[in-house]
């Protein structure tokens, strides 16, 4: 799931960056030996207009566009929100779980909003074990939407 409910917190430039990252997700999914079913949830008309710049966006195979929130579409107990702010590291990808990625580019202006959303909804939250594997990397450990998507896609 790509959670589009943070769209209004982004600048125009950030929304264009997100659009490109979602296109990269589509490309990776299309090339995958076992493509995932991807939901863009909570998509507003403004976000949809931005995405429609990409011809054929609304008919991408394996991508489903929903204006409803993921919480209305899937059982709460099956959901795991992936957020860099979570304290719990994702040890392994459980194919029975549904993973949510905040479709959000903000250059760290809105720190903690995805974790807070997960808490508010009573969802499990986890981060990728970046610190464990990239100990010597200096700077931000925040990954792009498409990078997180590709990591999950390749480990399913």
Question: What pLDDT sits at residue 152?
Answer: 94
Between the alpha carbon of residue 134 and those of residues 24, 67, 137, 142, the distances in Å are: 23, 36, 6, 12
Residues of the chain with pLDDT under 50: none
Cβ–Cβ < 8 Å for 54, 19: yes
Q: Where are the alpha helices (DSSP H) in 6-129?
A: 12-31, 45-51, 70-73, 113-121
Query: In the prediction, which pLDDT does 143 show?
Result: 86
H/E run at residue 150: helix 145-155
Note the pLDDT of residue 86.
Answer: 93
Neighbour-count burial for 86-97, b at 16+ CB within 10 Å, e otherwise: beeebeeeeeee
Verify whether residue 3 is a known catalytic residue: no
- The token duo for 27 is 């490309």
Do 51 and 23 form a contact (C-beta atoms < 8 A)?
no
C-alpha span between 63 and 153 (Å, rounded)? 14
Catalytic residue among 8, 49, 94, 106: 106
pLDDT of residue 131: 74
- Which pLDDT does position 140 carry in this prediction? 62
């Amino acid at each position: 799931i790509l959670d589009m409910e943070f769209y209004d917190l982004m600048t125009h430039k950030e929304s264009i960056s997100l659009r490109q990252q979602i296109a990269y997700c589509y490309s990776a999914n299309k090339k995958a030996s076992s493509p995932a079913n991807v939901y863009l949830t909570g998509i507003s008309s403004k976000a949809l207009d931005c995405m429609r710049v990409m011809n054929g966006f609304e008919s991408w195979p394996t991508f489903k566009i929903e204006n409803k929130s993921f919480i209305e579409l899937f059982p709460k107990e099956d959901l795991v929100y992936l957020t860099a702010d979570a304290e719990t590291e994702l040890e392994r990808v459980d194919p029975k779980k549904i993973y949510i990625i905040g479709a959000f580019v903000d250059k760290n202006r809105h720190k903690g909003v995805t974790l807070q959303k997960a808490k508010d909804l009573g969802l499990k939250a986890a981060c990728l074990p970046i610190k464990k594997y990239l100990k010597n990397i200096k700077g931000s450990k925040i990954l792009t939407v498409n990078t997180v998507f590709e990591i999950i896609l390749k480990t399913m």
